Chains A and B, each alone.
Chain A
Amino acid sequence: MKYEAVIGLEVHVQIKTRSKIFSRVATGYGAEPNTLTDPVVLGLPGVLPVMNKAALDAVIKSGLMLGCEIAPVCKWDRKNYFYPDMPKNYQISQYDQPICLGGSVEIELPGPARNVMGEHKKIPLTRIHLEEDVGKLNHSATGSLIDYNRAGTPLMEIVSEPAMHTAEEAYAYLTSLRQTMIYGGISDCDMEKGQLRCDANISIRPVGETKLGTKVELKNLNSISFVRDGIAHEIKRQVSLAESGGTIVQETRDYDGQTGASQSLRSKEMAHDYRYFPDPDLMPVKVDEAWKQKLRAECPEQPFAKQERFLKEYQIPYTITSVLVPERDLSDFFEEAAKIAGKPQAAGNWIVNDLLRELGNAKISLAESKVKPAHIAALVKLVEAGTILNNAAREVFIDMFATGEMPDANVARKGLKAETNTAELEQWCREAIAGNSKALADFKGGKDSAINGFKGPVMKAAKGKADPKLVDETLRRLLASM
């Protein structure tokens, strides 16, 4: 029997706000334990939550970017359960009236080759809601310590429909969602810092069956590749279990990305009764048209829309857009350079090939780069005008990456201007032909490639500043008359 997998993802995204969701204390990662706390975060007797509007804005904006329906009224509920990482022993969340309903995440699957765009699909969303993050437990041999710095960080839960069927789709879904969140300034989505966390619900069913199979929840998928590997592993586990006549039980499993194995955490029988009820400390929020309109105006162009535009408007190949578009700042950098230079393809090549290579070698970010769009544009213009040649341009690039010197200044200072004195060039060509009688005989005998034997000495005489095309033309003209 052939099986198909059905996958739904629950993604938690920490919202990048300055202060926490219900108090004025700052959010952050990596601070001394328990320094980002106040009476509200610690759930001391008598404290009350007050909603951070910036967090609400971020969820609504996310919903607008993903095409969700924004609820006209949303309310807050308490999810009650005891756990030491949660100071109040209830989490303020949203139960039956989330802010965002529906919507979808557009994904791009890998193409048949690196330079060919793959299939696009829309993965429907169930809902997005806002809640508070919890603290972090650190277990050691001597006991467990709690750091409440993370507690109260605004957290968005994005729930997909069970509409994916392969680990690749899940990978593409997360990649795309992450790009959208970063584009919108909602979150930095650094999985290592826990800014994006993913749980997967996975079931299998015989191909053709429409009913869902028994689902297994996979937790601790700590990187996008662990998500892919963990899901692939779980599908394989379920299929081999089904094929060997075993039963898949509804459970939560923990995936270990290092060993590539998973183990059961708890079964359905141990599921919680969260006793949800509306939080009496928080008032419901009305989201009116004006509010949505304001946020809609702040939404940036979405990555796939931008990709389409780049392909059409700039006529640049997919190999370049597929590198530029995933990074908003990189694509902005490109657009600026392309606009000044007027040569999108050339600007794109410099950015994708040279700039990214040098940034990688120097281990710095684009924001830290001394090369700005104006540098790229100026360089493109110099090459285009034939003022400098490609070899010289590479040299100029290395210099401006190191120092930030503008290309024109660099070319002038180092005398890298291309040789355009035709009389001098002709003289060098004559000398080269005269100095290599064997190559001359070969060429005359019909061996075209023998012409290359003259080019080396010409370039040497020109100190590399001769245009290879012009050298070739001059040599052929002289040879033809001999």
Chain B
Amino acid sequence: MSSELFFQPVTDLAAQLAAKKISSVELMQAVLARTKAVDAKVQAFNSFDEADALAQARASDARRAAGQASGPLDGIPVGIKDVISVAGQPLTASSKMLANFVSPYDATVTRKLKDAGAICWGRLNLDEFAMGSSTENSAFKTTSNPWDLTRVPGGSSGGSAAALAAGEAIASLGSDTGGSIRQPAALCGVVGLKPTYGLVSRYGLIAFASSLDQIGPFGRTVEDAAVLLGAIAGHDANDSTSFKAEIPDYRAELAKRKGPWKLGIAKEYFAEGIDPEVNAAVQAAIAYYKKLGCEIREISLPHTKYAVGVYYIIATAECSSNLARYDGIRYGHRSKDATDALDIYFKSRAEGFGAEVKRRIILGTYVLSSGYYDAYYLRAQKVRTLIRRDFLNAYQEVDAILTPTSPTPAFKKGEKAADPLAMYLSDIYTIGVNLAGLPGISLPCGFSKSGLPIGLQIIGQPFKEADLLAIARAYEQGHDWHTKHPTL
């Protein structure tokens, strides 16, 4: 285990903070120094507020000195994707449209993190409005993969994954609409968890596709992901889609759930297009579970082939409406050349949105248009139900499903930027999880010969995150992939 503070897991640092071996200010200073040293290369942050971060660290130390520290996250710097609102901080969605927007309110997850004593640390880069799989769609900068700076970190939560992998944060939050937490986690060699739809409040998350979006944690370990999930999960009166579920102590549950489990392998997920090294690493993980005594069953998710198509109808339809509010009237970018209200709309949106965002707004507007609604949106919703049914049928037989997270390790910057369809297909294993509203986790399961991380995805049952985390942890305990760090 690395001795640098910024590479240590939350749970280790929490123990040192509790024992007063380190202070939160020391930890924050270490993370700040690391960030200043490497972020010119990694480009994970859109911005950070050093004074504010240190003030939060001092407040944590003061709480601890007064015997009022609140738990394992007290004093821990948690990076925040720049699409989750923190009162008084910029909220840009990595878009020119919101380049100068400062949010006046806290997202529910932000409030919960603050209640847990965590330091809300920095604004992490993403694909504009979370639309993309590489962070190349950011209006401000392309984040680099810390393992190979010529490659992408994945996306859309590329900043959240890269910052964690590079030691610029101890943990982070991202959002996942079609794989935006799990895919960058895989590509950057960290753990990323997308919770069941409705487990974590979306209040304060800039909406991309409301019926698919979910906030979730990135951590160095499964246990860290469990700690963060415990802090942010739970019913919220500000979010009508948030579920009234009993929230277990996920960290404590890890030790109690030992398996063996019945694990499914979906034949549709190992068809064409999968990189041989990724396949080999995932097969090795499957073999490991077998060795642990788990029963491996082949299952079928027959509607998998429709997932990408269905996703791009539903997600774009919702985004075309969700992004209508960015019009330059009351906030956000307003064109200097506009002459009247209609002109403000046309020019501000033409100037404020990037190409991928525009592409999706146009697509979504089209599928909702009179005469096309039934053929596209309504039919896509029906197929979505079938996709969910596929998974629920599979869960009659198995506890969880093992798949690769991404068909390939991190690809080169620019490699897929000109080909939107190739980019869309990089989410092929993750999209079904969002359509079905299920929890999914990605954890490191090896490296390619060229030293790029590979991720294993485990798909769990609705609201059974405790089991999902325990299954992931069983693998992690037998491997040391998660202890390796990139050299920067």
Contacts and interface: CB of A to CB of B under 8 A. Distances in A.
Interface in A56-109: 78, 80, 82, 84, 87-90
Given A46-B107, A46-B203, A82 B237 contact: no
A146 interface: yes
B210 interface: yes
The secondary structure that dominates the B interface is: loop
B317 interface: yes
A277 B368 contact: yes
B205 A46 contact: yes
B370 A277 contact: no
A87 B325 CA distance: 6
Contacts of A80: 320-321, 324, 368
Contacts of A277: 317, 321, 368, 373, 377
Interface stretch (A279-287, A330-338, A429-437): A279-287
B325 A50 contact: no
A289 B345 CA distance: 46
Contacts of B150: none
A50 B240 contact: yes
Contacts of A46: 83-85, 91, 103, 107, 203-207
B240 A48 contact: yes
B278 to A, nearest CB: 33
Contacts of A283: 240-241
A82 B324 contact: yes
Given A84-B341, A277-B377, A281-B240, A90 B207 contact: no
B341 A144 contact: yes
Interface string B161-186: 00000000000000000000000000
B330 interface: yes
A39 B105 contact: yes
Interface string B403-421: 0000000000000000000
Interface in B174-228: 202-207, 209-211
Contact of B91 (A45, A88, A281): A45
A311 interface: no
B466 to A, nearest CB: 25
Interface in B309-348: 317-318, 320-321, 324-327, 329-331, 341, 345
B103 A90 contact: no
Nearest to B98: A45
A107 B175 CA distance: 56
B202 A48 contact: yes
Given A275-B369, A277-B377, A48 B239 contact: yes
B104 interface: yes
- Which of B98, B240, B317, B318 is packed against the most chain A CB atoms within 10 Å? B240
A141 to B, nearest CB: 15
B369 A47 contact: no
B240 A87 contact: no
Given A49-B240, A277-B321, A82 B327 contact: yes
A44 interface: yes
Contact of A50 (B211, B238, B326, B365): B238
A275 B107 contact: no
A45 B91 CA distance: 8
A374 interface: no
B241 A88 contact: no
Interface in B343-390: 345, 365, 368-370, 373, 377
A47 B101 CA distance: 15
Contacts of A273: 369-370
B85 A88 contact: no
B69 interface: no
A48 B206 CA distance: 10
B241 A43 contact: no
24 contacts: A43-B325, A46-B85, A46-B203, A46-B205, A47-B204, A48-B238, A50-B240, A51-B240, A78-B321, A80-B320, A80-B324, A80-B368, A87-B329, A88-B324, A89-B324, A89-B325, A90-B324, A276-B368, A276-B373, A277-B317, A277-B373, A281-B210, A281-B240, A283-B240
Interface of A: 39, 42-51, 78, 80, 82, 84, 87-90, 144, 146, 273, 275-277, 280-283
Interface of B: 83-85, 91, 93, 98, 101, 103-105, 107, 202-207, 209-211, 237-241, 317-318, 320-321, 324-327, 329-331, 341, 345, 365, 368-370, 373, 377
Q: 7 shortest A-B CB distances, which residue pairs?
A: A89-B324, A280-B210, A275-B368, A280-B211, A46-B204, A45-B206, A88-B325
Given A44-B103, A45-B326, A47-B203, 7 more contacts: A43-B325, A45-B103, A48-B241, A50-B239, A87-B325, A87-B330, A280-B210
